[in-house]
Every structure is written in C-alpha cells, then in structure tokens.
Structure 1
Amino acid sequence: SYKIPVSAEKPYTIGAWSWGVSGSGLGFYVRCMDAAGKGLPAPNEHYHRALSSRKRRWTRTAFVIQTPKGCASIQLWLHSYSGSKVEAFVDDLSVREGALVKEKKRPGMKPFAKVEVKTAQGARPSVLVTRQEIADIKAAAEKHEWAGRSLKAFLLGAERRLKTPVPHPDRGGGWYHWYACSIDGAGLTTVSPTEHKCRKCGKIYTGEPYDTVAIMGEHNKLGRNARDYGLAFALTGRPEFAKRAREILVGYADRYAGYEMHDVRGPSTRGSAGKVGPQTLDESCWVIPVAQAYDFVVDTMSEDERTHVDRDLLRAAVATIQRNNAGISNWQSWHNAGIASVAYALRDTELIDAAINGRSGFQFQMENSVTDDGFWYEGAWGYHYYALSAHLQLTEMAMRSGMDLYQNPRYKGLYQVSMQFMAPNRILPAFHDAHLAGGLAGPRFYEVAYRRWHDPMFAWAVNERKRGWDSMLYGALDVPKRDQPPQNSVNFTGLGWAVLRSGASRDGMYLALDYGPHGGGHGHPDKLGFSFYALGDFLAHDPGCVAYGLPIHGEWYRQTVSHNTVVVDGQSQEQGTGELDFYVASPRMGVVSARAADATDPVQFRRLALMTGEMLLLVDDASDTAEHQYDWAFHGVGEFASALPLAARAEAPGKDSGYQHIEGVTAAPAPGTWQADWVSPRRSLRLTMLADIATPTEVIAGKAWGPSSLGKVPMVLARRRAKATRYVAALHPYRGTAPEVKLSAKPIGDGLLVSAQTATSRTLALRGKAGDLCQAPGMSTDADFAAVETGDDVRNVILVNGRRLAAGRQIEISLDEPGAVALERLRKGLWFVQNDTDASRQLRLKHADCAPAKAYQLRGNRRAGELPLALVNRAWVLQIPAEAKVEIIVSGASLQQFRATTAQAEKEAAEEALRAKLPAFPVKPLTPPEGIKSASKAVTVQAEAFSGQGGGEVLISDKKIGVEGTCFLKWDAPGHWLEWSCDVPETAIYQLDLRYCTMQKNAERALLIDGAYPGEVGKAIPLPSTGGYANKTDDWRTATLGESGEPAPLYLRQGHHTIRLYNLRDPANLDWLRLAPWQGGK
C-alpha cells in the first residue's frame, strides 16, 4: 500500500476481508517507518497475521498493533509464505485508530539482561580457535588414533584444494530452495555451471534459477576454503596456505561493492536482499568463515590489504546485513552470528555489543525465541538446529574472547530437548517445515555441549557418534562413557507438543501430537495432527516439507489433508493455537486431550488419544450447528489392505487444498466397524474404526506424498457429512498375524465409555465430567476421564480431574480432593503410583494385593525416602506429595530391579526382532586335517564382483573415501544376500577377511561357504561400527571371521567355491572379501 500517516506509540486496528479461491498461506503484514521512510523494528508475531484461506465465503481478519517509538507512517503488504501459491480476493484493507477488536492476549517481548562485552587481547588466532587450541589439536593427534586420522584428512583436503583454486564468481548467488527436481522433489547436483542433475531420477535442468544457485555454492565453497586455508596455516605454518586465503579475501574486497543487490527472484533493494547471497540470511552464513579466515592471516597482510579487507569486505558485509533487523527469527540469529564473526575478527566492541546485547541480539533471542522447555519457537527441527548452529558459532567465538554466554540459563535447553523428544529409534518426527531428522544431530552440538556443561547426557551423546574433526575443533578430547538418559512421556507446553510413550525398548510405542501454536512462517495447518511409532519405526508420519521452490510444497505439504487430523469441508485449517484439556502419563499408559480451537472455527474439533500397553485409542469429536463434510485423514507406512469392497474412482476426492494430489483413489461405503492394515516385513499396523450410527461413512483410499525420503505412502479418508460426528478408532501395531481388536463405544449420559479388547488385554476408558458421577458397565468415576487396562489382573489406571474410580471388583481408588493420578501394577505386590497434581493428595487404593507393605518416594527409579503407608479395611492409604512418584511394595524385587529386568528383556526382544530369519542351513565346519598348512597367498574378491543377490539390490560406487577400486552400498535390508564365486589355487587353510564400513553399532552378517555354515561361528559375524560410511573420511576397517580375536580356520580344497553373505541386521558397505592365509594357532 501507500504510506499511511500514523502517530507513534498509539494503538491501531488493522483489518481486511478475504475470500479464498485456492491455496493457503497468505500473510498480511504491517511495516512501520520513521519520518525519513526508514523501516523500524517490530515484533513479527504482533505485526502480521495470515488471512483466512476459507473457500467460498468472506472472512474478516482484524488485529491491533501498537506503533513503535518514532513511527510516522505504516504500509500494509501481502506476502505468500515460503513461495506458496495463493489465489484470493482481498478487500477493505483498513487502518483505524484505537483498539477496536478484542483478541486473545499475546505475550509481549520479554526483557533481557545485557552482559559485559569483552574482546580478545594479544596473539591471534582468537575467533575459530586460539593458539592453545592449535597446540591441543596437535597433541590430540599424537594421543588418539581418530584424532591423528582426522588431522591428516583435514590437511590433505586443504592441500588438494590448493591445486584446484576456485575463481571468484562475477555475480551473487541464488536461493537454494529452487535447486530441486519438480518431478520427485529430490535435490540437484551440479554437473557443470549450466547443467544440474536430479539425484533421484536423473533429469537435467539448465538455465535459471538453477545456474545462479550453483553460483551460491561456489561462493560458499570459497568462504569455507579461505577458513580452511587459514586454519591449515595455523597448524603447519606453511605460507602457501596463508597466501591462498589472502587471495580469496582480497579478491572479495575487490568485487563486493560491484555485486548487485538481489533477492530470491532477482535484482531488489528490499531490506532482506543480499549481495553475495540472495538474502541477508545467506550473506550472514557466508561471511562467518570469511571473517575467521581473516583472523588467521591478518598478521601476514600488508597495511593496505588489511584496510581494504576490513573496509570493503567485512564492514561492507555487516552493513548489508544490518539493513534487515529480523526480530524473532532464525534469520536474525544468523545475522547476529555473522556480525559477531566480523566483530571478533576486527576486535570491534561496538559490533560485539550489537550482536549480543542489541535489540534483536543473542540475549534477546534466548528470551523470546526459545520456549521454556527448550524448543526453537518455529516448531520445526530443521530450523531448531539451523538456529542453534548460528548460536553455537556465536557463543564459541564469544568464549574465546572471555564472554561465557553458556551461563544463559535458557541456552542449554536447545541442546537437550531433541534427546527428550526423539522417538525410540532416535529419529525426530517431521513436524512443520522440517524433514525427518536425527535426535542426535551433527556431532559438534554435543561436543560443544559436553565441553561447556559437562552434563552426563551430553557425554552419552558424544560417544554415540563418530569422533572426528568436529571433536577436535569443538569438543573435549577425553569424554567418559555414560548411560543413555531415560526417555519419558513429556508434555512440552511451550511449543504445544504432547509426547506419550509405552515401553522402554526400541520397540516401544511413541506418539507426538501437535496442539500448540501455528509455528510462524514455517508452521503448517495441522492442529491435533500426530506421528505414531511402534516396533522399531514410525507407522504414521507427519509429512514435513520439500524444497520451498516446488509447487507441491504449498499445494500438498502445507495443506491439512496431508496430516493425520480431521479436515472440515475439504479446506485447510486456519492458522491458530490449540487448547490442551489435560495430559497424564505413566511409563505404560498415557492420555492427552486437546482442542483445535479457532483453527477449525466454527467447527469445534476435539481429539483424545489414549496409549495403552498394546495400542493407541483415538476419540475425535467434531461439531457445529451447520452441516459439514468431515474427513478423518490417516497416512500409514506399508502396503495397504482392507476387506472393504474398494472400487476405483476416476476423480480425486477434492479439487484443491491438497486433495488434487491424492492418486490411485478407491472408495467404498463402510457398513459398520471397518478395518485396514498397513503391512511391512518387520512391522505392521491395524486400524479399526467404529461406525457412526447416525451418519454413513465413506472410506476413501489412495496414495500421496509422505516425508520426502519415503515418497508416496498409502492413506485413507473416513468421510462423513453431518452437523456433528464422533470418530472412535484403534491403532494396533503388530508383527506376524494381524490381531483381532474388539472395539466398542457407548454413550453414558453426556459421557462416553470406550472398550478395546484383544486376546491379551482389555481397556475401559470413560470420559465424563468432573464432579458428576458417571456409572457405566464395569466402571464408574466422577472424573473428566478415567481408564483401566487389565490382563490377568489390573495393569494400568489413569484418573484425570476426579476423586473416585471403580472398575468392578478389581480395583477402587479415591482421592481426598480432585486430582490426576496414574497407577501401574508391575507384578503381584508391586505398584507404581504417580501424582500429576500440583498439590499433595491422599490416595486410597483397594485391590486384592493390599497387604502390609512399604512405600517409597522415587527419584527416577531409585528410592529417595520412605513414606507412611497405612492398611485400612484392606486398602492402602497414602499421602502422596505434589507431582511425586511412589513405589508400593509388599515383598520381592524392588521397582528399580523389576524395571531393569523388564527393560533388558524388552531390549533383547527388540534386538532379536531386527535380525533376519534365515532358513535352517546345514552346519559343516571346515576343520583342517592334520598336516595341512596355511595358504601361501591370498585370494581377493571385489565386493562388486558378486554372481547373484536376493532380497534387495546393492548400488556400485567408486565415490567412497579410501575405497580400493569400487565397492557397493545399500546393503540395508535384513535377509538381503549376495553370493560370490571364486577359484582357490591350492588346498590349504584360509581365513576370511571382510573390508567394510558402517555407522551402525550392531551390524551382523551370516556366512555360507558352499551352501553351509562353516561352523557355528558363521551364523553371526559382528561388524562393529567404523564411525561412518566413508562419505567424508576413510572409515574402512577389516573384520575377520573368528572368535575371541582368533581367526577361524577354513580348510578349502583347490578348485571352485561359493561364498554367500546374508545381512542379518543393519546397513554396511563392502569393499572386498579376502581368503587370506590363516594367521591363527600362534
């Protein structure tokens, strides 16, 4: 819009009407300016909204701003988030003086404490490393084999790049989100400056925007090279490294002013535009290694060179970045790090202060961009780590100048929270604009965390990863071994993500449900969506994202139907924050209930999820005074199967809002309770859903995009048309034969009784109203919610916001005041009790186990002190402290011992389930007769020279570091076998050596020679982790068939033999097999 005159520090109501046609993600922003027309900083979340994407009706959006000090005018502007394509009518954009609408209260900016600014004194370097750290790196290389190998690899890499210098590009680079295949979303590889190849399908792209993105890659390569040359100079003192670093710096100083200001779409003077990069974000990332290089070689420069680089490169880059104060954002975090890198390199205290204590500096970000539970506010793991990478760069530079920013109490949570949130396989769900990511991200995060905080959880994380160059730059050289910290159910209230867990092993169940804030510009319309995991991997995914430049990102990934939630009228949800009703969880049972609130307005949508020891139960209620189309959407993993008479349908189930991307559509009416399965070789899932007696259900099946690494996955929609409907469903993971789940639901007054029964358990769940007694067959309570899981006896109990619960004659519990408690009966006479109330409660528990017993308050699983326990009228009476956990024991092994034994048994069962089940091959030991000697020479067979394979397909590669010729990879699937034919030149004793690499700790292979195991030792050959797959370093190691360090003797006659290797579990790459002269018997 034009500039609209306003008064400073006054409230104004901003409004607009919108009518959605297609797409979503249309942002409505206010830009504030001073009298000279210069932009003023404003908190983004207070100064923008997303206009309604509701189709076929006018919707008004209005909000109140407070103009900042010095504000003379404002502009209204529209912006599509992350390249989303949106078609909408927008009318009556208005600015009215005064606060004329009531909104939900939004938190204001939190104040932050400033810290004392310091800069390094004395000798350089002092930004990336200090002189002492250079000495420590050299000492570590002498002491540790991994460190020596890492240092050698770094110096060889720097030496190699010296021989192939990269020229300075003649223009700035482009936006990397354009660099993806329009067919499958995979990234591109630069074949030449004008050819760009899809990594997946091989399609070649030419021209713009691809050529300019490749140029950005060259800029980033030059910056990294300059830093690495500087570091190599510090490590070796060789002047040729310093010379090349200087050439890069001076070359950029010569060219920087001439680079045109541009953004992601071309020439631009926008505040976010850059010179080297298309955004100030990219400019900041690029300048950090450039500034670090300056710190290494500045003392080798002439006075003119120093002045030229200082003024025309480093300070000029800061000026570009400082044009754009991005407030709360990952952008500003990188701005701060970029500015700080220049500040510390130039030892400029004013710039240091701006980066750390400035209005959007590091201290501001810690208070306003980090939630109380440690999440980055955007709720997307990619951006969590992306922002954390910037903070890590800044805090390490500050530390070397005497500023300990690790003392900020909110900073540590950014490193901890992923370990608390990750699934049992250490993968993080792909919520919002994120991909599936490892809960243990890049090694440098935990190397730094342990070095600065010495917390045992970080020591565990460091030792779970390969130690290498990052360890030398960022970590402590000696890190003790520590146990993995426990993974518990947690309600992350700051971001609104509820995590439920059941079981302690890799096979345990895991639910992550999103009820919180939208997530800013990188959020998705996914309220009450979830990811579900069991039996070793995810069985239902949130889809995450693809490259933003691809149309599919806005058309599918940012639509509600791509998530596991309920869609109203075929339209995506509005941006909004859900509301939590309650959350209670114990180690074996948990419940969360939440509402979508205004995200589905005017429809009220509520989801209750109950996790038992066997399954996940979902009760979803959607209601309004008008009739709507409701689609219950679910995206599974595996081959889809259902007994329903699904018939092909030519048209998609909708024309827009993502529905147009659902393929292979089939549909059928559901006559009553219906089931569907997603079947995989190692884990499967059964969905059982009840009918709504008043409303017919149409089941629509198809395929659509899941997380980009998986491609398209089978999905279902359970479609109903009504004013109100209730979906009751059970998700039951299984291996082998599909379980029978008897599911029922019965209204009890205003409440609901749900029963789920399998061959081994029964769960009763009763939803009522706090304070009103609700009596149902087999169960009664006065709580908002109660659940009892039984087998041969009671297993788990939950009571939420109530005082009483009775389940027939099996169990009765009561509290002196309303509260929330969870109980688990581990065995006869051993109970776990958890008080989830913020005040002490007296518990009365009546059960057949009740006998003289003791009670102990717990810290973790350990006893922290005894509590008084009375036995009154065959019931235990106990006063439980607020938010306390208690063990009640009659006799026998303690809770800690029982949990340890159970966890070990579950772990062993989960490990065994990962192993391939092979046929019963014969065992024929190749024992040498007396007098037979060791072979005189070895027979080497290249891995890629196999004669056959089955159960998978390997990929041949010559790109691996340290490979001898070629190798193969993608030997990932359990049961995948390969066979080799070889001719043995002499009758002799041999041993079998395998040259392999793997990141996994427990990879195993089984060996057949001529169709039989060569003894028991051939049934499982361990391949210990080598630390990686030889992508960046030489990770190859040799494993020898044998036991206790002694190679197994293989007596082979001269002539033709076959060798077959089966993948028992976990991926590994293979370089060669060798029948070597036997070295045993010594």
Structure 2
Amino acid sequence: MKIYKNYKLSITLFSIMFLTTFTGISQENKQLHPNLITTAKSIELIKKKLGKYPLLDNSIKEMKDLVDPELNKEIDFPIPVDPAGGYTHEKHKENYLMMYRAAMLYQVLGDKKYSDYVIKMFKGYVALFPTLGLHPDGKSYSPGKLFWQALNDAAFLVNVAQAYDCVYYEFTPEDRKAVETKLLKPLADFLSVGSPKMFNRVHNHGIWLNAAVGMAGYVLNDKELIKRALFGAEIDRTLETFKTVDYNDPALKGFDPDRPAGYFMQLDNLFSPDGFYIEGPYYQRFSIWPFILLAQTIENNNPDIKIFKYRDSILKKALYTALQLSNTNGDFFPFNDALKGMSFASPELTLALDVVYKNYGKDAELLDVAAKQDRVVFSEGGFEVAKDVAENKAKAFIWKSANFGDGADGKNGGVGILRYGPSSDQLCQIMRYTSHGLAHGHFDKLNQLLYDNGNEILQDYGAARWVAVIQKIGGRYLPENTTWAKQTIAHNTLVVDEKSHFNGDINESSEHNSELYFYDASNESYQIISAKENNAYPGIQMHRTFVMITDSRLEKPFVLDIFNVVSESKHQLDLPFHYLGEIMDVPFDHEVMTKDLKPLGEANGYQHLWLLSKGKTKEPQAKFTWLNSGRFYTITTVADENTELLLCRLGANDPEFNLRPDPSFIIRQKEAKNHTFVSIVEPHGSKSLTREIVTNSEGGIKKLAIVYQDSDYIAIDVIVQDKKLRVILSLNNNDTKKSHSLKIDGKMQKWMGPYMQLFDK
C-alpha cells in the first residue's frame, strides 16, 4: 500500500502554472527584507506597542535573557564530530538559535549590538562550512554536515535564513556575497539535490528540508531553490547512492523516486482531510513548524498562490487537530515515538497559533491557548495575538469529543476521542486505530489511553529516549525503544501468544490499518467508539468498543471496554492496562513473587516486565483498585476459571536503567479461541492528604456480566448502585438505520442502529 495519495495531476497543473508565472518575489513585496516570517510591517506595528502588550514584552524579555549574556563571549565554531547530545552538536544548535534571537532583537529594538553579533556568527560559519564534508558520525541514510543528520542542518538553515533576512542591510556587499555563496546556497543545494532521498521523502524530515530550502530560496530570491522546495529535487538515478537503495528499509518509508515530491506533496499526504498527521500528535507538533514557516513565507511573498486555502485550509485543520490531540493541561497524547510532557506551549505551536489566528478568522479560543504559551512570534500574527490577549478578547478553549480520520484520503483508520466534563475535571477516553505511522509508528492497533482530571490514568509509554542527554547515547532513541516501547505489550491492547502485532514487521504493519465500525458522541450521556482490526494476527479478528457512560445517579462517568476476539484456533490472550498510581486493593487470590522474581517472558517486550504477582478469582468478575492524584480508580472485569490476573512492573533486563519502572495490570486468558474481554474503568471517591479524609474508596460498580452473546450480538449488564444498565452491541452490522430485536431473559429488546443502552428505572 502506498502511503501517499496520487495528486500527480493537480500537482502537475499547479507546477505548470507556478513555473510559467513565478518570477521570484512579487514586486509588491520587493522592499525586500525582512520578508520571510518577520516583515517590515510587523516590526513597525510591534515597535509602536512596546510596553503595551504583555505577550510581546514577555517574548522580548525571554530573548534578551538568553542573548545578552552571550554578546561579549567568544563564539566557538567547533569542527562537527558529535552526534545529538554531544558538545559540537549542542554548540552549533545553540549558535543558530542565538543568531535567530539576536536578529529578531535587532529588528524590534534597533540596537546594533545584536546585528554585530549576528554578523560575527555568519562570518564564522562562512569560514567553517566550505571546509566540511559529511558528518563523521552521520546517519547512513541522511547524514548532515554540521550535524549528524540532515534534519538538524535543515533546522540550522531555517533559523539562519531568518537571521540573514533580519540583518540583511547591515552586511557589506562583500560579506553578503560571501554568506550567500559560501553558506546559504551551498547548504540549500546540499539539503536538496545533495540529499534527494531525504528531501523527496514524505516524512517529517522531508518537510523540514523542503522548508529550509524554500526559505533560503525566498531570502536569496532564488527561483530554482523555491521550485525544489515546492515540487521536489530532481533525482539522478545514475548516482551510486541509488543503485543499492533498499526501498523496504523502514528508514526510507515515505520515499518513492517515481512520484512527485516537495512541499505540496507533503501537504497532500502527511495530513488527513481532518488535519491528523500520519506520525501522531508528537510529530504533528514537530512538523507543523516547517509547514507553517514556509506557508507564511509564501503568503508574504506570493499571496496570489493563496497557500492558506490550499487543500480546504488544511493548515488550519492541522493546528486545531493538534490542539484537540492533547490533554486538558496541553500535553500531547504520546502515540508512537513521543516524549511525555511535550505540549502546546512548545515554540512550534506558538508559531502555528499566531499564523492561524491571523489568517483564519481570529478565533478567540486560540487566545486562551496563546495566553498559556506566554509568548508570541515577531510577526503580524504574533502582534495580533498579543494585542487581542491584552484587550481581553480570549474565550476559554474547549476540548471536545472528536473522531479524526488518518491517511491522505482519511480512510486509513483514525483516532477517536470521547470527553465528558469541563476542562478543569474532564474524563477523556482515546482509541487509536490508525495506520502504522511510518518509521516512528508502534505496533498498537486498537490501543487505548485514559485521562481524568488532567492526569494520565492508563498511559501510553511513548518513546524510550532522553533528548539531548549525552549519557543516554547522546539523546538518540535507546535500544529499549525497539525492544520495549514499540512492542504491543507496552500498550493497552491485545497481545496474542506474547507476539507483537504483525510480528513486529513494520513493512507488513504499514500495509494495513484498523477500520472504524462506528462513532457517536452526539449524546454526552453515552458516547461510543468502535473499531475492528483483522490483520494484526493471522486468523484472528479483533473488535474493540468503548462506551463512556454518565447518569445523574453516578458519581463520575465510567468507561465500558468490550474487546471481542474471534480466532480460528486457541491462543494465549493478554490484555494489559498500564495504569499510573499506587495499588489500593487486590481483592482476588494472588501469589506475590517475593522470592523468585522473574521476567514475564523472553522477547517482544515481555523480557522487560518483572512478574510481581499472579492470581485468579473465584467470582465471575475481578476488581483492581489504585489511587492517582487523590482519586480512586477501579477496573472491574468479567472473569472465568481460565482467567489469570497479573501484576507487573517495568525494568527487567534493563542494565542501563533506561526504562521508567512503571506498573501494569494484565488480564490473561490461556488456551482461548473465541473470547470477549469486558471491563470497566471507574473513577470514584477521593483522598485528601491534608485533611486525611477518604470518600467512596470502593466505587459504585457492583456487578458486571455478559448476559447474551452469539456471533452477531453481545449484551452486557452493569449493576450501578441498585440500578441495572444494559448495553447491547451489534457485532456485524453498523447500519444506523437497521432495526434489531433480541430476546434476553424472556424479554424482547428492540432498537435501531448498532447499539442500545438502557437504564432500569
């Protein structure tokens, strides 16, 4: 399955139009510098309001606090030798950030000490860059020159192009020529025609290279560079590097020399029509920066292109979807290779918000997010945001239930989000049923995450990586990212026979996606998301449904989880719940492994889990309770004589202590052929540490049972306090207009659509 959509005709027509009409920067905008993100108009507006708008003043102060202490220090331009996290890597990164910040301060404050500093920096790189070959510790498929991978060289060029734009008129003609011919143009050539496998790749690295070359093209008024950025670099297949290309290499997912490339190809294929980014929210945050940077640069120089209307305003959708793919504290959901704690307060989202606010109608809810970011970019959008926040125009940002399709056409699965309650105390259930997600994807079809009251309750581990920490292999992905974090057992979804989905084969996984069965959040009292996965394991069909249920008789909403497994033969089935918190109650018979602590298994992530306890229950249901941030949570699950209940903790076979020692609760069915896991996660009660008061530590779910099941239907009863709730699910017909009838306990139940919910009065 191609991961890209074929927009070849539309791209060809657009490129013909562009190449026949484009002659460089439009005459209207040819005053010339600055003309990328920061413009002369934006600087004029900002200067008039210094001291008037707090977000502007905060942004200036933040930059001054970073730049001013460095102005009189000797600048080091080390020969690149280190990978990420090493001295030379971090020094060159610090240098380009300082160039950018100082150049912005020069534009806003007009103090030549900042432009002098930037010019000194440029002279250092003009002397250094022509001497460099490929980085000595570079990535084999995308080495850089200043950095170990071309991605970082692209980030360098994005920043120094803007710095050059802002101090352009302070250079002598001779120095300007040297910067352009010995640094900016050669680096842009290296990133494009010199790195076509990465430049033409549909991937977050590809868009960074496209944006860098495009911004260099605009600051140099170089038509050829702009054309490459928008439509891709030409490939010379006679080069030795293309004679041995393995297109099944996961590192090259997204590269195909036989299709269009460049910025528009990235826009067409990396986002779904809903604005969902193929690699997940963490990389949506990372990638939106170059997308928005180049878009605003195009708009400032060639407004006739109408880039912000492209693909039904896809860049607007990308920002709004990114914001909705976050917890109510702003942290992004950590699907795939994601790092915990990354939030909408990041610089990438600051730029995106400022640009979207200006170009798409000034939504007052965005101002609420901007106030939390506490900074703006020095642009017209940043000025408008700062002005309107200062004038108290902000409205509270609302996190909503939503379902976002994945894939260029929106048909490669997706992400369903169910929410209940205000942002101050919201329950949020997420189901991931997407495509694999390129090389950063994990093997976690039908995975779930649960947030409550701003806290992670059932977590996705995210990535095993410590960015920029040299002790952790320079900040690169750790071996445990492959041996644990990507494996299915690291997620809250089904594992069969201790093997990961698609047997851990990225090429196989990339050929498939889960399918939405139905989604309905129209009634906040019972919201539902249901999806199927039929390819993760040969001969096994998986169908998972989440129902978020609330009622005036309930203390808190709870989530019903129905995971139906149909198999051609018997297997061991494991369903993990990676909870966060402290165990409060284990009310089933269990053996604690105090004298014989062993890993749960030997491979596929199991080797990293210590088995702490193993138990069974004599009841038709089992419970497990923990405490998280002053609130109790109980899992109630249907059980039988073949159910094993395991308590585990991460950290086995981890001699470098690279993994967090996180806990998990695993429901295991041994020798199961067809089986349905039915569980409830219930938030309830509270514990005050200061007042030492505990309320409702046991919860309100008294009984959970499957009361009817065949190949077409399943009916579940939940006893809540003294009331019965019945949920019936049609397993094979999702037609919302289809009538159903089913006799249960001698009573005929009738309903329309794929599910029914009924409370006893």
Q: Which residue of 2 aligns with 1:754?
A: 716
Matched, 1:401 2:338: no
For residue 180 of structure 2, what is the amino acid of its counterpart? Answer: D
In 1, the alpha carbon distance for the partners of 2:455 and 2:65 equals 39
Instruction: Give CA deviations for 1:911-946 in whole Å, capped at 9, x if unaligned.
Output: xxxxxxxxxxxxxxxxxxxxxxxxxxxxxxxxxxxx
Give the Cα separation in 2 of the matches to 1:422 and 1:354: 34
Equivalence for 1:337: 211
Question: Deviation at 1:384?
Answer: 0.2
Shift, 1:635, TM fit: 1.0
Q: Which residue number in structure 2 is paired with residue 628 of structure 1?
A: 571
Structure-2 residue corresponding to 1:875: none
Query: 2:53 & 2:629 partners in 1: Cα distance?
Result: 42
| CA–CA separation in structure 1 for the residues paired with 2:186 and 2:643 | 64
Change in CA separation of 1:461 and 1:375 when aligned onto 2, cut-off 3 Å: farther
- Aligned to 1:465, what secondary structure does the other structure show? helix
| Corresponding position of 2:332 | 428
* Distance across 2 between alignment mates of 1:230 and 1:485: 33
- The separation in 1 between residues aligned to 2:262 and 2:138, in whole angstroms, is 28
CA spacing shift, 1:125–1:429, aligned 2, 3 Å: closer
Instruction: Say whether residues 1:158 and 2:67 are aligned partners.
Output: yes
Following TM superposition, by how much is the alpha carbon of 1:438 offset from its aligned partner in structure 2, in angstroms? Answer: 2.9
Q: Hey, what's the Cα distance between the residues in 2 that align with 1:587 and 1:440?
A: 29
Aligned mates of 2:69, 2:104 — CA distance in 1:
15
Letter in 1 for 2:680: A
Picking from 504, 511, 514, the partner of 1:578 is 514
**Is the Cα contact below 8 Å between 1:763 and 1:787 reproduced in 2?**
no
SS of equivalent residue, structure 1 residue 315:
helix
- Report Cα offsets for 1:857-896 as digits up to 9, x if no partner: xxxxxxxxxxxxxxxxxxxxxxxxxxxxxxxxxxxxxxxx
Q: Please name the residue that 1:776 is paired with.
A: 744
Could you tell me how far apart the structure 2 residues matched to 1:456 and 1:267 are? 44
- State TM-score, norm by structure 2: 0.79
| Unaligned segments of structure 1, at least 5 residues | 1-44, 48-105, 180-212, 794-1082
**Cα distance, 1:375 vs structure 2:** 1.2
Q: CA deviation at 1:276?
A: 0.6
Contact 2:518 2:529 in 1 (8 A): yes
Q: 2:642 aligns with which of 688, 696, 699?
A: 696
Q: CA RMSD in A?
A: 2.8
* Distance of 1:580 and 1:461 partners within structure 2: 33
C-alpha displacement at 1:396, in angstroms? 2.5
Give the aligned partner of residue 243 of structure 2.
none
Larger Rg belongs to: 1
Q: Report SS of the residue matched to 1:517.
A: coil
- Provide the residue aligned with 2:689 in structure 1: none
Quick check: 1:463–1:481 contact (8 Å CA) kept in 2?
no
SS at match of 2:480: helix
- Counterparts of 1:317-716 in structure 2, within 5 Å, are 317-322=187-192, 323-324=195-196, 325-358=199-232, 359-379=260-280, 381-403=281-303, 404-408=306-310, 409-436=313-340, 437-439=342-344, 441=346, 442-470=349-377, 474-475=381-382, 476=384, 477-479=386-388, 481-484=393-396, 486-494=398-406, 496-504=414-422, 506-547=424-465, 548-574=476-502, 575=509, 576-585=512-521, 586-613=523-550, 614-640=557-583, 641-649=585-593, 650-663=597-610, 665-672=612-619, 673-692=621-640, 696-704=642-650, 711-716=660-665
* Deviation for aligned residue 1:236: 4.5
* CA displacement 1:103-137 (0-9 Å, x = unmatched): xxx85456444556441412422234223322222
Change (3 A) 1:340 1:754: same
SS at match of 1:450: helix
Query: Shift of the alpha carbon at 1:280?
Result: 1.5
User: TM-score when scaled to structure 1?
Assistant: 0.57
Offset at residue 754 of structure 1 (A):
0.4
| Kept in 2: contact 1:425–1:506 (CA 8 A) | no
Structure 1 residues 338 and 620: CA distance shift in structure 2, 3 A: same
The structural deviation recorded for 1:763 is 1.6
Q: For the residues of structure 2 that align with 1:583 and 1:489, how far apart are their CA atoms?
A: 10
Q: Alignment partner of 1:141: what SS?
A: coil
Q: How big is each residue's C-alpha offset from its partner over 1:560-600, in whole Å with a ceiling of 9 and x where there is no partner? A: 01111110000111123112222222222122222222112
Stretch moving more, 389-398 or 313-322: 389-398
Distance 2:218 2:282 in 1: 27
- 1:739 alignment partner in structure 2: 699
- Indicate how the Cα distance of structure 1 residues 280 and 458 shifts in structure 2: closer, same or farther if over 3 A, else same: farther
CA distance in 1, matches of 2:141, 2:608: 36
Q: Measure the CA separation in 1 of the matches of 2:61 and 2:636.
A: 58
8 Å CA contact retained: 2:600, 2:607: yes
The answer for the alignment partner of 1:65 in structure 2 is: none
Aligned CA distance change for structure 1 residues 469 and 765 (closer, same or farther; 3 Å): closer
Deviations along 1:1028-1051, one digit per CA (max 9) or x if unpaired, are xxxxxxxxxxxxxxxxxxxxxxxx
- Flag the structure with higher helix content: 2
Q: Given residue 745 of structure 1, which amino acid in structure 2 is its aligned partner? A: I
Task: Indicate if the aligned counterparts of 2:207 and 2:262 stay in contact, CA closer than 8 A.
Answer: yes
From the superposition, tell whether residues 621 and 671 of structure 1 become closer, same or farther in structure 2 (CA, over 3 Å): same
Is the CA contact 2:56–2:376 (under 8 Å) kept in the aligned structure 1?
yes
Match of 2:220, as an amino acid? L
Partner of 1:7: none
- Report what 2:31 is aligned to: 122
Superposition deviation, residue 149 in structure 1:
5.3
Distance in structure 2 (CA, Å) of the matches to 1:337 and 1:658: 38
What letter matches 1:347 in structure 2? N
Partner of residue 277, structure 1: 147
Distance 1:149 1:536 in 2: 27
> Secondary structure of the equivalent of 1:599?
coil
Superimposed CA distance per residue, residues 263-295 of structure 1 (whole angstroms, 9 cap, x where no aligned partner): 7xx267x55211011122111001122222222
Partner residue of 2:107? 234
How far apart are the structure 2 equivalents of 1:612 and 1:434?
30
Whether the aligned pair in 2 keeps the contact of 1:638 and 1:713 (CA below 8 Å) is no
3-state secondary structure, aligned to 2:674: strand
> Structure 2: which amino acid aligns with 1:538?
E
Contact 1:291 1:341 in 2 (8 A): yes
Q: Distance in 1 between matches of 2:66 and 2:665?
A: 51
Cα 1:311–1:439 shift into 2, 3 Å: closer
Contact between 1:652 and 1:665, CA under 8 Å: does it hold in 2? no
Shift of 1:761: 4.5
SS at match of 2:33: coil
Flag the 1:226–1:466 CA change in 2: closer, same or farther, 3 A: closer
- Structure 2 gaps, min length 5: 233-259, 407-412, 466-475, 503-508, 551-556, 686-694, 734-738
Task: Name the counterpart of 1:911.
Answer: none
Q: Is the 8 A contact 1:489 1:587 kept in 2?
A: no
Write the distance in 2 (CA, Å) between the matches of 1:781 and 1:136. 65
Give 1:781 shift.
2.7
More strand by proportion, 1 or 2? Answer: 1
**Conservation of the 8 A alpha-carbon contact between 1:141 and 1:151:** no
Equivalent residues in 2 for 1:157-306, closer than 5 Å = 157-174=66-83, 176=84, 179=85, 213-262=86-135, 266=137, 270=140, 272-306=142-176
